[in-house]
Chains A and B, each alone.
Chain A
Amino acid sequence: MSPPRIVVTGMGWITPLGHDLDTVWKRLVTSSSGMAKTTRFSAGTFPTSFSAEVRDYDVAKFVADPSAHASAGLNSQFALGAAAQAWKQAGLDRSCARDMRRVGMYLGAGEGVLDSDNFVAVNLASWDAGAGKTQGKVWIREALARMSALREIEQEPNMPLAHLAREFGIRGPSYNCLTACAASTQAIGEAVDILRRGDTDVMLAGGTHTMIHLLGVTGFNRLTALSTSGSDPTTASRPFSADRDGFVMGEGSGMVILETLDHARARGAKPLAEVTGYGSSADAFRITDIQPDGRGAAAAMLGALRQAGIDPHVMRGANRGPIDYISAHGTGTKENDSIETRAVKRVFGEGARNIPMSSIKSMMGHLIAAAGAVEFISCVLSIERGMLLPTINLNKPDPALDLDYVPNHARPAQIDICLSNSFGFGGQNDTVVIRRFEE
């Protein structure tokens, strides 16, 4: 018996470009940017004072009982909205008897937002300049007085799972992984593996994250990973362009419902796409740099292609390469974009030039742990709607980067097989293969 086929039956996202599938899609195909001045905290003097924020979002519109989620941090709020859309599209909201122990979750959710104002105030109040350290007694007294218990607990990275379990009654396997920028692609891949094994019938998978806060932006600015060209934030994210200077922080969530084809059929759910491959690897190279040959990234892509039964060197006819599209990790850092390009060439050889590869991070920003999930959804929509999404702000071609990055404008195309890449700071690499569903 071959392992079960795994299909996508529901999707939802909360992103800087909107809070539903269609609105965001329209903005993606029209090359819109979600970047603007940061408003979540006073970032005006920071090296990077702009980001792609989720705007005008109200989680109460998405959940049955908002009071059950009153303490939810932004990450859990985004997760609830995205998951509610996916749950509904999959038809899981319609009442019918279901063994909820056969419904699981696998998220790549980031930690909650630090209560920066109070955290800083507690530390400053307890600082002993003479000793060069904080005084424990004062720190504890200040912390107990100023900080909120629930707000602190909400920062634990498994709290989005807790909110989703409460909202949907999920009792199956429940995981959160946090492999930096690779997390939600990894979550989707591992969810597929759990379904293939037969441990569950349905998995809610995806990611949620925001690092648009004092220490998040400080940390990435110190690493010089963020774009600092803020005169016009809408042009700051420039993946694959010669003048790219770093990524732009985004925030939000993407969630999908995955299930075995048999289960989807039995309940009359419509498959939106099939997930046929997943590959995961580690660079095992250096903490600060990507393996320069793209060895780790290539290993993840090759693993996913192998599981999907795709030979990267075999054409599907005169003008069709082995796959139709690559959703790039494409952060817009010098290093990522050149090494990802190298890795794709390593996998597909000369044929790489004929495979369109774009980065929606140029429009949506980098949703960090949630990036892979929103990019996965964009792949399914691209298959469904026959449109390649663009890499915007690609105005200065980099001579070393010679693939088809779908510059600046969306382009109609027949898309049946997509590959979606996510690579994490620290060297974890994940790739999934998404295919048009055919009976």
Chain B
Amino acid sequence: MSQAKRSVVVTGIGPVCGFGVGAKLFWDGLTSGATCIAPVVRFDASEFPCSVAAFITDEQLDILTQVPRSYRKATKVMARDIEIAVAAAAAAVASAGLTTRGTAEGQPPTISPDRVGAHIGAGLIAAEINELTAAFVTSRHEDGTFDYGQWGTSGMQNLTPLWLLKYLPNMLACHVTIIHDCQGPSNTITCGEVSAALSIGESMRAIQRGAADACLSGGAESKINPMGLLRQHFAKRTALVPAGSDGTEVVRPFTRDAPGTVLGEGGGILVLEAAETARARGAVPLARVAGFAAGHCACADTLGIDLSAAGGDVAAVLRAALADAQISPDEIDVIVPLGAAIPSSDSAEREAILEVFGARAATIPLITLVPAIGNCGAGASALAAIAAVLCLHSQTIPARRNGDGATDLDAGAAPSRSGSFKYCAVLSLSLGGQVAAIVLGRDS
């Protein structure tokens, strides 16, 4: 390269999960050892073997309070995933102290819009089935089967003209870029749990190569709907929750008898900026994005449902991220794994951590989020990165739940504690076999 890569820092964070909107609620929830997991109430999910989830209540997230007044009408075409991304972006922009079209219309923005990008990971957004079915029932044969002919002639008119726009994955970035006037490089990465980590990596590269000075980066998803829960059940990822259990003790990352994961809804946006332009505007970085790497794992089955053979490839990606950060494994003080409590996924992460950190592996504290906020899909690695940023910034590790009996790793239940943490590795692994690692450093 003709010039040194620009240094990239995090200047703002916007987590949204079952604890609510914003960094304070997120961190208070995590450090107190609370969990958002509870029986699903949005619909009757009781016939699913896993009928609990970590969800955001209407009181916690009222989308009308998250958008500028002039944008309220557009909230009608926002799927839940989009609402979460929009709320996360609002929180992140506020946290970074940025003025945008979304925070103060008509005011000059802190950063020129053409220098602001957006990389926001998304999932396969499920169509709202009540809305669809109310339209489908207008096109039924007498025997109850669907009448395609009737649907084509008139039935489909019962759907709002903009129906499709609620469900395109790039609509997360679309709404966020419109609200905050981000005209720079923009992308929507759709790789399951790894989506947000890959998005953060791409923002980092865009800033390093000079295509943008700042990016809104992360991801969001809600699988707390019938199709979302169904697909994760089919992929054998969700836990069988015993009758009578409230689900709060079900998710046990890295334990031998972990029955599976519990889904969450949530996401996060981070404001990434070039260190030089961030300092020039007087921003105080919360952490530095020191390294990034990605890869694809060997999988036992074609679709990457069984990740038990992935350990070596996860280790290779972790090592590559450390090399990108130009640090040795000895310098990592904290790890935020996916830790979904899905046996084959946990096993790959455990194997990789043991391989890369050797004898130190058992002494490096892990931050396990899924017992508290569920597995938030395309939002998961954004929330993991935000937890890492908060850990480095506050020099605190949040509490851990349910990990007693975790093998080989420091992942057991423990209260929040303070310490001295310089580098944190964030690891992510998806259904499908994508893997990514981010190294975040304390900004000093």
A residues contacting B by CB (< 8 A) are 1-3, 41-47, 49, 68-69, 71, 101, 104-105, 111, 117, 120-121, 123-127, 129, 132-137, 139-141, 143-144, 147, 149-150, 152-159, 161-163, 165-166, 170-180, 186, 190, 193-194, 196-197, 199, 214-215, 218-224, 280-288, 295-296, 299, 303, 424-428
Contact = CB atoms under 8 A, between A and B. Distances in A.
Given A222-B163, A223-B162, A215 B43 contact: no
A153 B183 CA distance: 34
A41 B147 CA distance: 12
Given A139-B226, A222-B160, A45 B136 contact: no
B183 A174 contact: no
Nearest to B45: A136
A111 B296 contact: no
How big is chain B's contact interface, by range? 35 or more
A281 B170 contact: no
B294 A282 contact: no
Contact of B191 (A3, A44, A176, A284): A176
Contacts of B192: 156, 158
Q: Which of A101, A177, A196, A286 has the most CB of B within 10 A?
A: A177
Contacts of B316: 101, 171
Contacts of B431: 153, 156, 158
Nearest to A147: B230
Contact of B149 (A42, A68, A124, A166): A42
A45 B432 contact: no
Contacts of B295: 101, 104, 171-174
Interface in B221-257: 226, 230-231, 234-235
A161 B164 contact: no
Interface stretch (B7-15, B123-131, B276-284, B326-334): B123-131
B142 interface: no
B171 A281 contact: no
Interface string B184-198: 111111111000001
Interface stretch (B16-24, B89-97, B299-307): B299-307
Contact of A179 (B146, B156, B186): B186
Given A124-B145, A287-B171, 15 more contacts: A3-B1, A111-B169, A153-B303, A155-B124, A156-B431, A161-B434, A162-B299, A165-B296, A180-B168, A190-B202, A197-B209, A222-B160, A281-B186, A287-B175, A428-B186
Given A124-B144, A156-B431, A156-B432, A136 B43 contact: yes
A166 B302 contact: yes
17 contacts: A44-B149, A45-B151, A46-B156, A137-B44, A156-B431, A157-B191, A161-B191, A166-B299, A174-B433, A177-B187, A177-B189, A218-B151, A280-B186, A281-B183, A284-B183, A288-B162, A426-B170
B352 to A, nearest CB: 14
B187 A186 contact: yes
Contact of B2 (A2, A41, A140): A2
A68 B164 CA distance: 33
B63 interface: no
Contact of B170 (A43, A178, A218): A178
Residue in B113, B114, B183 whose Cβ sees the most chain A Cβ within 10 Å: B183
A176 B44 CA distance: 33
Interface of B: 1-2, 43-48, 74, 77, 113-114, 117-118, 122, 124, 127, 129-130, 132-134, 136-137, 140, 144-146, 148-153, 156, 159-165, 167-171, 173-175, 177-178, 180-192, 198, 202, 205, 209, 211, 226, 230-231, 234-235, 293-299, 302-305, 313, 316, 320, 430-435
Contact of B184 (A49, A150, A170, A281): A281
Contacts of A194: 205
B434 A139 contact: no
B41 to A, nearest CB: 11
Residue of A47, A147, A194, A427 ringed by the most chain B CB atoms within 10 A: A427
B296 A140 contact: no
B124 A179 contact: no
Contact of A158 (B163, B190, B211): B190
B296 A45 contact: no
B231 A152 contact: yes
Given A139-B226, A427-B178, A1 B433 contact: no
Contact of B296 (A174, A220, A299): A174
B177 A121 contact: no
Q: Chain A: interface secondary structure?
A: mixed
A283 B177 CA distance: 8
Nearest to A116: B146
B165 A287 contact: yes
A425 to B, nearest CB: 7
Nearest to A427: B174
Contacts of A140: 45, 47-48, 226, 230
Contacts of B149: 42, 44-45
Contacts of A150: 234, 303
Interface of B: prevailing SS: mixed
A174 B188 contact: no
A301 to B, nearest CB: 14
Nearest to B209: A193
A282 B44 contact: no
Contacts of A46: 152, 156
Given A173-B295, A174-B296, A427-B174, A136 B47 contact: yes
Contacts of B44: 135-137
Find the residue from A117, A127, A149, A178 having the highest chain B CB count within 10 A.
Answer: A178
B187 A153 contact: no
B426 to A, nearest CB: 16
A153 B227 CA distance: 11
A402 B184 CA distance: 29
A41 B136 CA distance: 16
Contacts of B211: 280, 303
B234 A137 contact: no
Of the listed residues A135, A139, A194, A223, the one surrounded by the most CB atoms of chain B closer than 10 A to its CB is A139
B207 to A, nearest CB: 12
Nearest to A166: B302
A120 B164 CA distance: 17
Contacts of B189: 175-178
B177 A284 contact: yes
Q: Which interface residue of A137, A163, A221, A281 has the most chain B CB atoms within 10 A?
A: A281
A105 B198 CA distance: 13
A172 B296 contact: yes
Nearest to A129: B137
Nearest to B43: A136
A415 B294 CA distance: 37
Contacts of A121: 145-146
Contact of B187 (A2, A129, A428): A428
Going nearest first, the 7 A-B pairs with the smallest beta carbon separation are: A136-B44, A219-B164, A45-B152, A149-B234, A426-B174, A174-B296, A46-B152
A134 B168 contact: no
B137 A175 contact: no
Nearest to A100: B296
Contacts of A224: 161
Contact of B1 (A1, A117, A428): A1
A426 B173 contact: yes
Contacts of A133: 130, 133
B311 to A, nearest CB: 13
B432 A282 contact: no
B135 to A, nearest CB: 9
B173 to A, nearest CB: 7
A157 B156 CA distance: 25
A173 B136 contact: no
A282 B183 contact: yes
A177 B299 contact: no
A141 B198 CA distance: 36
A42 B134 contact: no
A45 B149 CA distance: 5
